[in-house]
Chains A and B, each alone.
Chain A
Amino acid sequence: MAMNDAAARLGLKSGLALADARAMYPTLTVADADAQADRRLLEAVADWCDRYTPLVGLDPPDGLTLDITGCAHLFGGEKAFCADIVQRLARQGLTARAAIADTVGCAWAVARFGRATEPQAYTIVPVGGAREALLPLRLAALRIAPEIEAGLAQAGLKRIADVIDRPRAPLAARFGEAFIRRIDQALRREDEPITPRLPIPAYVAERRFADPILLETDVLGTIEALAQELARMLERRGEGARHLEVALFRTDGKVDRIAAGTGAPLRDPARIRALLAERFTAIGDACDPGFGFDVVRLAARTTERCDPQQTGLATPDHAAELAHLIDRLGARFGLRRVTRLVPQDTHIPEFAVAAMPASDLILRSPRSGRLEGWPQARSLPATMVRDARKSALLPMRLQDKAILADSLCSPRPIRLLGRPEPIEAVAEVPDGPPVRFRWRRVLHQVALAEGPERIAMEWWRDQNGRALTRDYFRLESREGVRVWVFREGLYGRELAEPRWFLHGLFA
């Protein structure tokens, strides 16, 4: 059982059975513990602490560890730093105890078990003073399990001073290596890294405001100013941002993070602003300024090499403009919605072309417009025809070439249905093309047919070996509508009664 201050004033104690407490005060208000809500709150506070240092580690259930190496002087020294944190958290309605020490273990111990002198709720352990600060504290301050503490208490060891200079071997033998390691960590005999909650960005620019800003134009203006700072940093290293993130710290402690990816390394401040403005529009009301933002931070999470390019005087820079368009569309709809079609190495029609995010395929040279890593197109009649002509016995006429190209890479529909639609088809002979078919309740008479093009399913794709062979036909109806249909399964061998499907539309 945990309780609040009011309950403590009544004389209740943590760990008391609920039934006993109710017996004493029948009107007690009781709520179930919500560990997840606690965790969310802790994460929100950790997010907020990001304004002090990018290295914030969670210490559940109720603690945070901040690595403030090189940060304190930005806030006017360690004292002012601590006072600022505690005061701002108090304004948010949170009671916090803070401690700064040389080691994580020592700070943990002093924050929880030290005697902070009122009214200040923080303790600063001077450099090299970890040992002295730890000596008078209870053993629980070493982050050890309660049963170890109880065991030590039975041996008459209650304070850290009682164990700190004892021979280590007997203690380790009786209470485990972990106990000794905790002592070492607190005294910096052993390193203890902080695991940051969020990845640390490569480049960061931020701005703080005495008065919080509210308007979107102000926020965007700030972002552009920060982007200029960021651009200078990126330019010095010859890099461009691929993934940007804006963190908006609201005065009441909530932190909004807005991220945007780019298709090509980006440095231009105006474009960064436009990109994030697009994100704001896409998010809409989800980003609520509340009482305003007092810190705005722009970070480049991922960067890539970006060499300066000579722009032409007369010709507009099409590649850059296209990249910007992709970024803006990506910011609005998500980069996965802006795609290019990439041929795949398979015969199965539905897998033969994959829609890949355009931002992943970088144009190699803006002039030629070829894509980097672009697979050879399936249909290159010129080379194929040349190869075929070498093997052919007779010299070919011009119109035969087209036919050969046609048979080497048979035409594909310009629209492919995501799921083949069943049709009713009537064929003259079992293996032949249909003479009429009904699709979406309309009956079509077939005037011309081409086929079959037999496509066997790839055995490694289906687990039961039950995928059926397809015979594809190109059909032209009497009205001129052209469709791509297939019969699934071979008569007699695979199925007694094969079914027909319509898979695509030709022009």
Chain B
Amino acid sequence: MSAALTGPALSLSLPGKPGRVGRGVSIDSGRVSKVSTSPLGVAEGSLRLGVPALDAALQGGLAFGALHELAPAGALQLGAAFGFGLAIAALAAAKDGRQVFCITTDFAVREGGAPYGLDLFGLPLEHLLILRVAHPREALWGFEEGLKCRALAAVLAELPEEGQAADFTATRRLSLAAETGGGLGLLLRHHRYPLPSAAVTRWQVAATPSAPDRFGGLGGTRFDLSLERNRRGRCGRFVADWNYDKRTFLPEALSLGMAEAARDRPDRTQQRRTA
């Protein structure tokens, strides 16, 4: 009886958004900063990657409720690109304990293998739901359904080849779906797609030689990330180490020179600064 009285009878909280006061303003380590409430789903909050250089370029992290595009930098870098997508998904899942949904096609599995030792990579298997479909069109349908579902932290869909099925219209549609659900949409193309897409960020991922461990064996995974397109800030090239044991990126990432912001969609911070 006493236990029932001491506990709170009713608790109302907004999970997954600590420190958030009202819409559009976030309190972050004592510093109040404006969060842009653009139509790109930015207001949904961001996933902090834990790498200061990267988070700065992304204006606080990878936007939830938006679509992000990944592609391997070379034909043999599929493992790296998939690994980066998984690492992001694992981070998102670790944040609030929601599930990760992974979509592949039969062709992609034949070509590049099926998801396998993911628990050792940092994504617990009970947090993972996998859909395997026959056709990229069906993958897109499943992707959209997954993005609309609020129970998923991240949806990672991979399309074989360039993923022509996900053209500008399709990616715009997926972005809107992601805004509805508020999850992280990750589109992995097996090859780089040269045409425009509605994704908020576009990445090219490669693995880069790791620092060998004390015994001369293979070190931790090291990604070479080219942020090719970023609607919230500058583009750039980063190196990030993934620690699968602790499920974090190591903070001391190298930034290999910043590129200019995307020309077709200028960086808003730049505008504010000049104005």
Contacts and interface: CB of A to CB of B under 8 A. Distances in A.
A479 B80 CA distance: 12
Interface string B34-73: 0000000000000000000000000000000000000000
B31 interface: no
Interface string B67-101: 00000001111111011101100000000011101
Contact of A325 (B83, B115, B149, B209): B149
Contact of B218 (A321, A329, A439, A476): A476
Contact of A414 (B12, B82, B149, B152): B82
B258 interface: no
B174 to A, nearest CB: 16
Interface stretch (B137-145, B193-201, B229-237): B137-145
A474 interface: yes
Nearest to A447: B209
A442 B74 CA distance: 12
Nearest to B10: A313
B129 A358 contact: yes
A440 B206 CA distance: 18
A339 to B, nearest CB: 5
Contacts of B124: 377
Nearest to A361: B126
A197 interface: no
Interface string A451-494: 00000000000000000000000101011111100000000000
B150 A318 contact: yes
Given A339-B130, A416-B116, A328 B145 contact: yes
B8 to A, nearest CB: 12
A353 interface: yes
A412 interface: yes
Nearest to B123: A414
Contact of A314 (B12, B82, B132): B12
Interface in B120-165: 120-121, 124-133, 138, 141-142, 145-146, 149-152
A381 B245 contact: yes
B83 A480 contact: no
Interface stretch (B18-26, B105-113, B248-256, B264-272): B105-113
A402 B219 CA distance: 11
Contact of B83 (A343, A349, A374, A507): A507
Interface stretch (A43-51, A54-62, A79-87, A403-411): A403-411
B263 interface: no
Grouping DSSP codes into helix (H, G, I), strand (E, B) and loop, the A interface class, with mixed when no group exceeds half, is: mixed
B118 A414 contact: yes
Contact of B86 (A321, A337, A507): A507
B257 interface: no
Nearest to A375: B125
Given A316-B150, A405-B245, A415 B116 contact: yes
Interface residues of A, number: 67
Interface string A318-344: 110110111011001100011111110
Contacts of B212: 448
A378 B117 CA distance: 10
B141 A417 contact: no
Contacts of A505: 78-79, 82, 112-113
A399 interface: yes
B207 A341 contact: no
A480 B208 contact: yes
B151 A341 contact: no
A443 to B, nearest CB: 11
Contact of A339 (B79, B126, B132): B132
B214 A329 contact: no
Nearest to B141: A332
A329 B126 contact: no
A370 interface: yes
Nearest to A338: B131
Contacts of A318: 98-99, 150-151
Nearest to B213: A403
A340 B118 CA distance: 12
19 contacts: A313-B10, A314-B14, A316-B151, A329-B145, A340-B125, A353-B125, A370-B126, A371-B126, A412-B116, A413-B117, A414-B115, A414-B117, A416-B113, A449-B218, A481-B79, A482-B79, A482-B218, A482-B221, A507-B79
